[in-house]
Structure 1
Amino acid sequence: MWCTSCALAVEGSIKRHDGVRDVSVHYPSATLCISGTPAATQLSFLAPQIKRLGYRLTPLEPIAGAHARLEEESRYLTLRLLVGSLFGMWTMLASLLIYAGALPSEPPNEQVELVVAWVSGAFSLPVVLFAGVPFYRAGWRTLLAKRPGMDVLVSLGVLSAVLVSIWLLWRGSAEVYFDTAVMLIVLLLVGRLVETLCRHRGLKALDALALPKVTINAWQNEAWLALPDDKVVAGMRVELAPGELVALDGTLEAPGWIDTASLTGESLPRYFSAGQRVYAGCRYLGATPLVMQVSAGVGKRRLDRLCDEMRRYQAKKGELQKLADRFAAWLSPLALLLALLILPAALLLGLGWEEAIVRALSVLVVACPCAVGLAVPLASLAGRGQAMQQGIALRDPAALETLARIRSVAFDKTGTLTTGTHSVLHWQAREGVEKNTLQRKLSAAVAGSEHPLAQALGRWSTNQHGQRTEQCLEVSESPGEGRRVQLSNGERVMVGSAHWLTRQHIVLPSQAEDPTLAFASQVMVADDEGWLATLYLTDQPVGDAAKSVKWLLAAGYVVAMISGDRQGAVSGLGERVGLAREACYAQRSPEAKARLLQALPSPTLYVGDGLNDTLSLAAADVGIAPLSASEAAQEGASAQLMTPGIGGVVKLLRIAKRTRRIMVQNLCFSALYNTVALGLVVLMAIPPLVAVLAMVASSLSVTLNAARLAWAEPESEPEPESEPEEKD
């Protein structure tokens, strides 16, 4: 496609077919999004319809293909711009000599000015017949689609300027307008080239989701073979070499250190256990080869799905874009009608054929709605590029407009505001029991348990001083309640809830419980002498939770936490991140969470990671999935954070506000320009060359204003809070 008029022409042509419910063509990414009956949305049905207009419809191209297409467009434009500039320079020079009166006009050299005018016309021919061809082709296609747009006006303006100039030369007048035709083509080519470069830059934001083709060492036919990554399928075992980039999604068969910086932005590598899932884009940092079982091959990886979804959603349009399209759709026919009316009106006023034609020509030139067509898409593309650079994958670009108007922000608790990993907040023991003694017994008691709290206690009680840990000889476990173990030194240790210990005939003294820590998860430990200690564990808030919540509250948003967890845990976390108790809603079912969300001031934003959050993500005006979100949550969200924490929510809201501000600026300026320019050109005589310069200036201003957003430096994110120290 050549411009936004092409996109509207394709859109209008498809809309007329039966079975099509909705269609949207996104010009910057050359993407078509259509919904309707199966028969009306088949590529085999749509492609011939589009081909009649002179366009080609293909399946969604890969990112590399999009880059190649834009590079080809850039070369195509550059060649025509070079031709237009080279020959147009001589046309403009000849016209300047005539306008400046620098040529002799008295006998016997009175014909010199006319000769120079003919020379001006000769040099304009390569510009008009070669450099301007794309405008004529696109204009003809939009006429075929019965959606005449900017290219029709440009083509009529160029051809009218040339024909009027030839007619004047035939009459012996040197006051020609070849320079107008040349300037119109050259300056519009400059604008198109700048616009294409901006589109190229916006598309490069997706490069973060594209991985290079690599050869992988895979286990096949009872041997390790080097295979291209696209030949490796799910279920196969592959070997990761030290320092190698993980090219496929899979689960580790042994533990190892993984650098997730390229995917998540984490500055420190993470230690992954055996059986843990690793996504393509990470890097293995171990010292020895590591085997991984592939869960998703090329085309089905998390990055592939995310990239495809983002590009499919790009074709969706927000309200501002729809408004701009409607404005551009009636502006071109209005300009044509005004040009046709100006000609007889000027003749009736006695202005003469030459001035009447010049005024009609100026109307055609000044009314080109390219600025209106570019106002919103380029700003939206730049905003999405900024979001991707800051670690936010925007699956639904139309959400940018809604995000700028958000009034309420609601968070899920576990896995969203918290890390999902418990740690010991406070412990208390009977008199005379030291921490090392408690850790020694506890480490043996919880060894091998799969309960999350037991694993957290195991991490806390791991011996850091080389002290020998007791071995566990016998284990008796009541799932979800507690476990009893027999240690190698003959001691018995019990770990579990207060209710379970009571049933084991353990007397709990008054100091065994601290009512001020009711919000935390409580685990009690007993030995042969009775109650030994009580430990309180909490799910730790993500590092930037407090800073992010503070920023949202200061910015005037209504902030809430909605969770299915118990009230104590929810209120305790809310206090730690800076939320008032009345803003923390606990023990809510998925249906109740969605109803509560709809009761908040709208538009609403919901951030959630689990299967139970999918209903809330759909009920909110905009849904965001954090890095660790489940696949169901990712599918239901409009955006996904690619970095740990919730700081991306703050960054996305900032980006959305800046993007909408630039959208409104562009739309208001372009609409004001076209309205005022048309009024002026109807009321007074404006030279066609001045009309060309004004039209191109409006388009370039819109493009550069959008580029200002694309090239802006990323804003700093909220600094993470330091984790609270453990209380003894």
Structure 2
Amino acid sequence: MPEDEKTSSHNTPLYTLHGMWCTSCALAVEGALTRLPGVIDASVHYPTATVWVKGERNAVDLTELAPVVKRLGYRLTELEAVDDAHERLEQESRYLTLRLLVGAAFGMWTMLASLLIYVGALPSASIEQVVAWISGAFALPVVVYSGLPFYRAGWRTLLAKRPGMDVLVSLGAIGAVSVSIGLLWRGSVEVYFDTAVMLIVLLLIGRLVETLCRHRGLKALDALALPDAAISAWQKGDWVLLPVNDVVAGMRVKLAPGELVTLDGILDAPGWIDTASLTGESLPRYFNAGQRVYAGCRYLGATPLVMQVTAGAGKRRLDRLRHEMRRYQAQKGELQKLADRFAAWLSPLALALSLVTLIGALLVGLGWEDALVRSLSVLVVACPCAVGLAVPLASLAGNGQAMQQGIALRDPAALEILARIHSVALDKTGTLTTGSHGVLHWQVRDGIDKHTLQHKLTSAVAGSEHPLAQALARWSGGDNNQRSKPYKVDEFPGEGRRVWLTNRQYLMVGSVRWLARQQVDVPSQAADGTLASASQVMLADESGWLATFYLTDQPVDDAEQSVKRLLASGYLVAMISGDRQGAVSWLGKRIGLPSEACYAQRSPEAKARLLCGLPSPTLFVGDGVNDTLSMAAADVSIAPLSASEAAREGASAQLMSPGVGGVVKLLNIAKRTRRVMEQNLFFSALYNTLALGVVVVMAIPPLIAVLAMAISSLSVTLNAARLAWSEPEQ
């Protein structure tokens, strides 16, 4: 569990930051906020434009923070809706496209003019002079209009005392133009207008591609969005259509056949619900009256169904999940912090190296022209675009992959930890098992076939609400045989029941001890040791004992396959449960876990202590209130689909489909995401380090430096895009 959730004395609000241009802007605002009194920590997530702040209540209030951010040239507001975020990114895309079109339209003539001069295609020096001036004229709109965002962002980061990439870009572009004008004034045609144009145009292309990737990453939240359709609600004695936002908790709403459930609620009557949008289940589920239904499901009954609302719009389970995902997106993992630190010192270092290069070149006897060109190349090649984009774009891509696989990642920073997991601990009931019993084995009196047995069992358990009786009803085929319907039932709560049939015969079903007290000759138990932990239910009729059923909580469909894949991948896998030893041992054997990896009868405190003793980093998967302590003790935690509210709140990720197969998928996604993060970070850092060293000791044309810098940034963006667009591993 993140530290901020453990500390109730501090507020951790989430805001939206407008006006950012790149990661340097994010670092500038972040630095300004962390220096404020009362602010303990702040994190600005550039890809989603979100700001997470932790500190004293008054210190992190919007009214306190907004003026500070405004002085830097940005705007801080309440957290924007996802739809507004899409609109903002679309506006940014149009903004970038327009400036890119201007840059390309005028820049191509600058490049053509420069090319004619470089290859010596012009007939005379005077014509070359004219063409050089034309090259500068066409570069002017690119440098002034298309490059304006870079200058604005550079000035803002300087105000925040956190100079970043945009300072280098601005100095590089303005420097190239200034050097070129100076050379033209002296009569030289070796101008560098093309360098300024290429620097701005290529960076604009990178920003546009990056914005499209951010747009794609944000769409991961769209899977949790619901339409704002009108809903039929009971108001003032009549059913009226109300906007979904006007329906509050406690009101009763009516679901029409086939209607999408847009609010959380409790059913007044049973019905079939399609939960595919939330769980991925291919078959609908039958919900009983009193069961909770979450927004996002679809009602499939033939008649209207009434539901009492428990959570209105904005407070639904999906709403909370979306908000938590955005909250944790604003917090940074270790790799992102490392990238930020590298980018933070790289820009000042590049400025210092540029100045040293200029002075050094003059001291060794180079002319002002050559010295300025070398200094300019240092500025251009040092732009840390790739470093700033290395981690956040890969993280967004990994989040999108997880959502596609039915995994809601509440803490995207957990991807970095999940990629390094050594131990996986799993709860038993409700996590590795379905939470409902099934028939494991049965014995029957000689001369009774299975069909007859199922017929009698259907009559014996018809109408019972006991979980074991319902499990027996499912095994027998339900109570759809009207001839077996009893006319009288004597209930003995916690022990059994006697059912009188229409033909005056009776059946008894219940525990072994209860039937023994009813003078039924109870046979010896099954010799199979694996049944010792199972729950026993016996069936009897007028002739005495009829059958014994052994029931147990069945494993989820993918439990065995998932555990075997985890073991094959080299993880230390353990099952930690508060259930009886026999039940835990049986399940461990069933799913392929060795007995020494199955821990039974553990209290919540003991489970947490045991988890802390496993090789770290650790992952815990649990669903109950008793698992929340273990979730806090683990480095990262996952809640299955059927988890309790407390478990969901404490988990870093939540599975939106039945079973535990999502655990394996998420670990695979995390490994791929971290691999891309490390690749991006390594190559971008290596590029900047080596490139700076090269341009300091030898002359490299500024245009070549621009191309090298652009290729580095585009490679990082495309590598992250490769992760987002690739097919997830199964």
- TM-score for both structures, normalised by structure 1: 0.95
Instruction: Specify the alignment match of 1:56 in structure 2.
Output: 75
Instruction: Specify the alignment match of 1:720 in structure 2.
Output: none
Instruction: Specify the alignment match of 2:460 in structure 1.
Output: 445
Deviation of 1:516 after TM superposition, in Å, equals: 4.1
CA contact (8 A) 1:622 1:638 kept: yes
CA contact (8 A) 2:462 2:479 kept: no
Residue 259 and residue 470 in structure 1: after superposition, are their counterparts in 2 closer, same or farther (change >3 A)?
closer
What aligned pairs does 1:292-441 form with structure 2 within 5 A after superposition? 292-441=307-456
CA contact (8 A) 1:440 1:470 kept: no
Which SS does the other structure have where 2:58 is aligned?
Answer: coil
CA contact (8 A) 2:462 2:485 kept: no
- Equivalents in 1 of 2:523, 2:271: separation in Å? 44
What aligned pairs does 1:480-491 form with structure 2 within 5 A after superposition? 481-491=495-505
- Equivalents in 2 of 1:201, 1:515: separation in Å? 55
CA contact (8 A) 1:2 1:138 kept: yes
What aligned pairs does 1:202-281 form with structure 2 within 5 A after superposition? 202-281=217-296
Between Structure 1 and Structure 2, how many residues are aligned?
Answer: 711
CA contact (8 A) 1:627 1:640 kept: yes
Instruction: Specify the alignment match of 2:160 in structure 1.
Output: 145
Which SS does the other structure have where 1:116 is aligned?
Answer: helix
Instruction: Specify the alignment match of 1:116 in structure 2.
Output: 131
- Equivalents in 2 of 1:514, 1:495: separation in Å? 22
CA contact (8 A) 1:513 1:534 kept: no
Q: Deviations over 1:254-289 (max 9, x none)?
A: 222222111111111222222222111111222222
- 1:634 matched to 2:648? The reply is yes
- 1:496 matched to 2:510? The reply is yes
- Equivalents in 2 of 1:229, 1:507: separation in Å? 61
Instruction: Specify the alignment match of 2:698 in structure 1.
Output: 684
Q: Deviations over 1:234-258 (max 9, x none)?
A: 1111121222211111122222222
- Equivalents in 2 of 1:212, 1:337: separation in Å? 54
Deviation of 1:462 after TM superposition, in Å, equals: 4.3
- Equivalents in 2 of 1:437, 1:286: separation in Å? 32
Say which is worse superposed, 563-572 or 685-694, in terms of deviation: 563-572
Residue 472 and residue 537 in structure 1: after superposition, are their counterparts in 2 closer, same or farther (change >3 A)?
farther
Q: Deviations over 1:422-441 (max 9, x none)?
A: 11121112333443444444
Instruction: Specify the alignment match of 2:635 in structure 1.
Output: 621
Residue 465 and residue 214 in structure 1: after superposition, are their counterparts in 2 closer, same or farther (change >3 A)?
closer
Instruction: Specify the alignment match of 1:284 in structure 2.
Output: 299
What aligned pairs does 1:634-713 form with structure 2 within 5 A after superposition? 634-713=648-727
- Equivalents in 2 of 1:466, 1:277: separation in Å? 29
Deviation of 1:589 after TM superposition, in Å, equals: 1.0
Q: Deviations over 1:585-625 (max 9, x none)?
A: 11111111111111111111111111111111111111000
- 1:98 matched to 2:117? The reply is yes
Instruction: Specify the alignment match of 2:62 in structure 1.
Output: 43
CA contact (8 A) 1:512 1:534 kept: no
CA contact (8 A) 2:414 2:636 kept: yes
Instruction: Specify the alignment match of 1:88 in structure 2.
Output: 107
- Equivalents in 2 of 1:463, 1:671: separation in Å? 65
- Equivalents in 1 of 2:724, 2:525: separation in Å? 60
Say which is worse superposed, 53-62 or 453-462, in terms of deviation: 453-462
| Aligned equivalent of 1:508, options 480, 505, 522 | 522
Instruction: Specify the alignment match of 1:15 in structure 2.
Output: 34
CA contact (8 A) 1:410 1:607 kept: yes
Which SS does the other structure have where 1:28 is aligned?
Answer: helix
Which SS does the other structure have where 1:13 is aligned?
Answer: helix
Instruction: Specify the alignment match of 1:29 in structure 2.
Output: 48
- Equivalents in 2 of 1:516, 1:159: separation in Å? 80
- 1:531 matched to 2:545? The reply is yes
CA contact (8 A) 2:473 2:479 kept: no
Cα RMSD of the aligned pairs, angstroms, is 1.6
- Equivalents in 2 of 1:419, 1:403: separation in Å? 25
In structure 1, the gaps of 5 or more residues are 717-728
Residue 465 and residue 309 in structure 1: after superposition, are their counterparts in 2 closer, same or farther (change >3 A)?
closer
Say which is worse superposed, 152-161 or 252-261, in terms of deviation: 252-261
Say which is worse superposed, 562-571 or 330-339, in terms of deviation: 562-571
- Equivalents in 1 of 2:528, 2:687: separation in Å? 70
| Aligned equivalent of 1:556, options 570, 575, 597 | 570
- Alignment-mate amino acid for residue 377 of structure 1: P
Residue 344 and residue 391 in structure 1: after superposition, are their counterparts in 2 closer, same or farther (change >3 A)?
same
Residue 599 and residue 498 in structure 1: after superposition, are their counterparts in 2 closer, same or farther (change >3 A)?
same
- TM-score for both structures, normalised by structure 2: 0.95
Which SS does the other structure have where 2:654 is aligned?
Answer: strand
Residue 482 and residue 515 in structure 1: after superposition, are their counterparts in 2 closer, same or farther (change >3 A)?
farther
Deviation of 1:542 after TM superposition, in Å, equals: 1.1
- Equivalents in 2 of 1:509, 1:72: separation in Å? 77
CA contact (8 A) 1:470 1:489 kept: no
- Equivalents in 2 of 1:65, 1:470: separation in Å? 58
- Alignment-mate amino acid for residue 367 of structure 2: G
Which SS does the other structure have where 2:438 is aligned?
Answer: strand
- Equivalents in 2 of 1:511, 1:329: separation in Å? 72
Which SS does the other structure have where 2:700 is aligned?
Answer: coil
Deviation of 1:526 after TM superposition, in Å, equals: 3.2
Which SS does the other structure have where 1:23 is aligned?
Answer: strand
Deviation of 1:550 after TM superposition, in Å, equals: 1.1
CA contact (8 A) 2:183 2:189 kept: yes
- Alignment-mate amino acid for residue 146 of structure 1: K
- 1:595 matched to 2:609? The reply is yes
Deviation of 1:472 after TM superposition, in Å, equals: 4.5
CA contact (8 A) 2:431 2:623 kept: yes
- Alignment-mate amino acid for residue 5 of structure 1: S
| Aligned equivalent of 1:77, options 96, 116, 124 | 96
- Equivalents in 2 of 1:516, 1:344: separation in Å? 83
Calculate percent identity across the aligned residue pairs.
77
- Alignment-mate amino acid for residue 713 of structure 1: E
- Equivalents in 1 of 2:101, 2:530: separation in Å? 77
- Equivalents in 2 of 1:196, 1:128: separation in Å? 21
Instruction: Specify the alignment match of 2:11 in structure 1.
Output: none
Q: Deviations over 1:463-509 (max 9, x none)?
A: 67846114142413133x33344444444543322233334444423
Deviation of 1:188 after TM superposition, in Å, equals: 0.3
Q: Deviations over 1:372-413 (max 9, x none)?
A: 000111111100110001110100011101100111111111
- 1:65 matched to 2:84? The reply is yes
- Alignment-mate amino acid for residue 549 of structure 1: V
CA contact (8 A) 2:530 2:586 kept: no
Say which is worse superposed, 6-15 or 501-510, in terms of deviation: 501-510
- 1:581 matched to 2:600? The reply is no
Deviation of 1:456 after TM superposition, in Å, equals: 1.2
- Alignment-mate amino acid for residue 502 of structure 1: A
In structure 2, the gaps of 5 or more residues are 1-19
CA contact (8 A) 2:214 2:393 kept: yes
